[in-house]
Structure 1
Amino acid sequence: MSDEITFKRAVPIIPVRDLDAALARYRRLGFTAEAWDGPQRYGFVDRGDVSLHLTEWDEHDPARTAASVYLYVSDADGLHAEWTEAVGPLDPPRDTPWGLREFAYVDPDGTLHRVGSPLKS
Structure 2
Amino acid sequence: MYKAITRGISVTVTPRYMPEESSPDDGRYFFAYTVEIINTSLERVQLRARCWTVTDERGRVQEVRGAGVVGEEPILGPGESFSYTSGCPLTTPGGTMQGSYVMETASGDVFNAEIPAFSLDVPRTNRILH
More strand by share: 2
Structure 1 or 2, whichever has the larger Rg, is 2
TM-score range, shorter chain: under 0.3
Superposition TM-score, scaled by structure 2 size: 0.23
More helix by share: 1
Superposition TM-score, scaled by structure 1 size: 0.24
RCO higher in 1 or 2 (8 Å CA, sep ≥ 6)?
Answer: 2
